[in-house]
């Protein structure tokens, strides 16, 4: 267990905007920050971070909370893991009691796999640095490539001994279960036999965005043609190749700072660039680029530069795959190295300044680069040239922004020697075809189901009590400690039973006014979350007369924390749409409006009374023979009370 003092220290020092800034490119928006959601696919930002309240809210997925909640959602950490991660980041010493064997047994399967990977990383590093074989084979290989000790430490490079069971036996001796050694792919199990997957290879750990070890890449150092040169961990519950970019953990801050990401192919390309001093570089690790990988980059920057070997055999095929990046609305450039050079060798033989100069001078716009490249193949063949034109226009069609599309059409017209009218016409045909296909997809399935949906639309019913109870919690969170003048209406009746009322202005603290009004009618919340929150909020205000949102959220259960975040950040959503620039002015709710408080309370009262009347009326209807006179009188009294509240509501409005 982590001590309370450590947890409090972590929350005091951690900054939600700093932590989330490692995963999402945040831009200032009023007093908050906004960015693209890390949980959904979107092109318009719906993700908000409040530095003042130390909370975040993702309006596209509905998720939200404090800094720990973000790490638990994004990295799938447990609560203690998230606390430890933040403690490590901010150099806070973690005080905790020793875990019992029972507590270790309860660790989740995913966590067990992470622990196995972490042990493997340490094992491979130790083998490389402290054994004769590791030094002579693994360490010497990395040194020949020019990697320094600092670089090897930064990327956790290591070596797996050239023995069949060295790692597996060591892990089993340390108490790690064979089940998880096999699930991570570190050990291969065949019946009674078990042996190391990465036997005799230098090791490249693959990190998550937060630094956890997801898997490994291993390079063989012998010339054995029967074995693959590079071998990766297999897919597992913690490692999905299509959702990971090598080097992103080390590069994320540099990418956001430079507002550009260099994309290369291999591990050593990334490491050599880092060693030269250029850190905003990641690798697809030899796999075809996927939409998930592109979105990882897009959270940090909208600009990407793809680096190609000078003599890459599959250059044309690779270029065709870049259309995926265009679909995400990103700005794509391409840089080609001289013949015989790749990012690794070029970075090794040049200084940082020389490398930066070359990249800046030779990075070309992707569309123009692709057109020039394909035109070389077409030469004077009209049929091939027509195919090139269609290919280029097809790439332009992937760009979501119409203005950018038009600029590219105009630019490519001269290059391709084809009129703008023809290119625009071809673009229109491609877009129309894409629209037809996208419209056709949802129609798959039975016609009966479609008909049923049309004739019987499902209309979700608003839960009025839920809305009103939530509004009361919102008022308490935003204005509970504020003082305001309320207009109380005192009722009296004359001898003719006509109500007389006098209006009296009285000053209240908002939480006291709400408490008094609800207590007077013995109103209880029906929603268990709101009921628990109401009790906690009233208790804090009663004791301390103030409620600090960031401190309050940090000590709530996850479900309560998420609900409070959603309520608090609701008004911040207006900043996402930039209404002011569109000359639409949203009502400022920075100060308490006593009328809003009373209207909410009265509406809740009226709703509960109406519900009571309905319940009583139902009982009366069931009494077929003899109607209970007292029930009739009680129903009439409640009806009268509803009329009084309605009158009072009109006065408030």
CA distance 164 to 66: 46
CA distance 613 to 526: 18
| Domain spans of the chain, in order of start | 4-89, 107-239, 248-437, 464-570+589-652
pLDDT tens string 145-166: 999 999 999 999 999 999 999 9
The CATH homologous superfamily of the domain defined by 4-89? Zinc finger, CHC2-typedomain (3.90.580.10)
pLDDT tens string 308-357: 886 645 676 677 678 888 888 889 999 999 888 889 999 999 999 999 99
Structural Rg of the chain based on CA atoms = 32
Cβ pair 487, 504 in contact under 8 A: yes
CA distance 23 to 36: 10
Rounded to a whole number, what is the largest CA-CA distance in the chain?
109
> 435 CB contacts (<8 Å, ≥6 apart)?
none
pLDDT tens string 412-455: 888 888 888 989 898 898 888 888 776 665 444 333 433 344 44
Cβ pair 280, 262 in contact under 8 A: yes
**Which H, E and C letters describe 394-424, residue by residue?**
HHHHCCCCHHHHHHHHHHHHHHHCCCHHHHH
| Pairing of the two strands 281-283 and 201-207 | unpaired
pLDDT tens string 299-308: 889 999 999 8
Look at residue 134 and tell me whether its pLDDT is greater than 50. yes
| Pairing of the two strands 193-196 and 187-190 | antiparallel
Domain formed by 107-239, architecture: Alpha-Beta Complex (3.90)
CA distance 628 to 621: 11
pLDDT tens string 554-609: 888 878 888 888 888 876 766 665 555 555 555 556 677 888 888 888 888 888 88
Q: What is the pTM of this model?
A: 0.70
CA distance 439 to 603: 44
- DSSP class of residue 135 equals I
CA distance 496 to 498: 5
Look at residue 182 and tell me whether its pLDDT is greater than 90. yes
| Pairing of the two strands 158-160 and 201-207 | antiparallel
**Hey, which CATH number is domain 248-437, 3.40.190.10, 3.40.1360.10, 1.20.810.10, 2.30.40.10?**
3.40.1360.10
Chain length of the chain: 653
CA distance 342 to 322: 19
What pLDDT sits at residue 448?
A: 40
CA distance 486 to 481: 15
In the block, tokens 């959220």 appear at 553
Look at residue 652 and tell me whether its pLDDT is greater than 80. no
The rounded percent of the chain whose pLDDT value lies above 90 is 31
Look at residue 457 and tell me whether its pLDDT is greater than 60. no
């Amino acid at each position: 267990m982590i001590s309370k003092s450590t947890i409090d220290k972590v929350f005091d020092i951690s900054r939600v905007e700093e932590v989330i800034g490692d995963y999402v490119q945040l831009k200032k928006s009023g007093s908050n920050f906004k960015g693209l959601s890390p949980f959904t696919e979107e092109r318009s930002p719906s993700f908000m971070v409040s530095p003042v309240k130390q909370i975040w809210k993702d309006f596209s997925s509905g998720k939200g909370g404090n800094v720990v909640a973000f790490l638990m959602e994004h990295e799938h950490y447990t609560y203690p893991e998230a606390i430890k991660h933040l403690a490590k980041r901010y150099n806070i010493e973690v005080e905790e009691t020793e875990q019992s064997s029972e507590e270790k047994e309860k660790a989740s399967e995913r966590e067990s796999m992470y622990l196995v990977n972490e042990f493997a990383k340490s094992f491979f590093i130790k083998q490389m640095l402290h054994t004769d074989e590791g030094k002579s084979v693994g360490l010497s290989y990395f040194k020949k490539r020019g990697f320094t000790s600092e670089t090897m430490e930064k990327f956790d490079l290591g070596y797996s001994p050239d023995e069949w069971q060295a790692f597996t036996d060591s892990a089993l001796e340390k108490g790690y279960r064979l089940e998880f050694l096999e699930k991570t792919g570190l050990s291969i199990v065949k019946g009674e036999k078990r042996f190391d997957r990465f036997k005799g290879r230098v090791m490249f750990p693959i990190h998550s965005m937060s630094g956890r070890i997801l898997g490994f890449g291993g390079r063989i150092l012998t010339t054995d043609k029967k074995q693959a040169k590079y071998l990766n961990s297999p897919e597992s519950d913690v490692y999905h190749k299509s959702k990971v970019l090598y080097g992103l953990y080390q590069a994320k801050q540099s990418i956001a700072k430079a507002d550009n990401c260099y994309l290369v192919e291999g591990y050593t390309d990334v490491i050599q660039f880092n060693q030269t001093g250029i850190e905003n570089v990641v690798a697809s690790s030899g796999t075809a680029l996927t939409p998930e990988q592109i979105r990882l980059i897009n959270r940090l920057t909208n600009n990407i530069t793809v680096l190609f070997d000078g003599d890459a055999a599959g250059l044309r095929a690779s270029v065709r795959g870049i259309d995926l990046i265009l679909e995400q609305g990103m700005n794509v450039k391409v840089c080609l190295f001289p013949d015989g050079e790749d990012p690794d060798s070029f970075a090794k033989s040049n200084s940082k300044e020389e490398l930066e100069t070359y990249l800046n001078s030779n990075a070309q716009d992707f569309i123009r680069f692709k057109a020039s490249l394909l035109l070389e193949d077409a030469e004077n063949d009209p049929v091939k040239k027509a195919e090139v034109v269609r290919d280029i226009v097809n790439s332009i069609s992937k760009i979501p922004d119409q203005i950018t599309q038009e600029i590219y059409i105009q630019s490519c017209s001269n290059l391709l020697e084809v009129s703008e009218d023809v290119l625009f016409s071809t673009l229109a045909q491609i877009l129309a075809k894409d629209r037809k296909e996208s419209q056709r997809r949802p129609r798959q399935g039975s016609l009966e189901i479609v008909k049923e949906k049309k004739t019987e639309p499902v209309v979700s019913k608003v839960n009025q009590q839920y809305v009103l109870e939530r509004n009361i919690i919102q008022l308490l969170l935003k204005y509970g400690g504020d003082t305001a003048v309320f207009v109380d209406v005192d009722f009296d009746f004359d001898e003719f039973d006509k109500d007389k009322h006098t209006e009296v202005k009285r000053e209240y603290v908002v939480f006291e006014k709400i408490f008094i009004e609800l207590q007077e009618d013995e109103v209880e919340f029906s929603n268990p979350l709101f009921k628990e929150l109401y009790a906690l909020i009233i208790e804090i205000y009663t004791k301390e007369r103030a409620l600090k949102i960031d401190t309050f959220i940090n000590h709530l259960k996850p479900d309560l924390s998420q609900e409070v975040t959603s309520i608090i950040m609701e008004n911040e959503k207006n900043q996402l749409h930039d209404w002011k620039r569109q000359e639409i002015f949203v009502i400022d709710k920075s100060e308490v409006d006593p009328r809003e408080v009373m209207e909410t309370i009265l509406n809740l009262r009226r709703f509960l009374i109406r519900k009571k009347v309905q319940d009583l009326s139902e009982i009366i209807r069931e009494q077929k023979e003899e109607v209970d006179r007292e029930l009739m009188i009680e129903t009439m009294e409640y009806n009268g009370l509803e009329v009084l509240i309605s009158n009072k509501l009109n006065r408030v409005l």
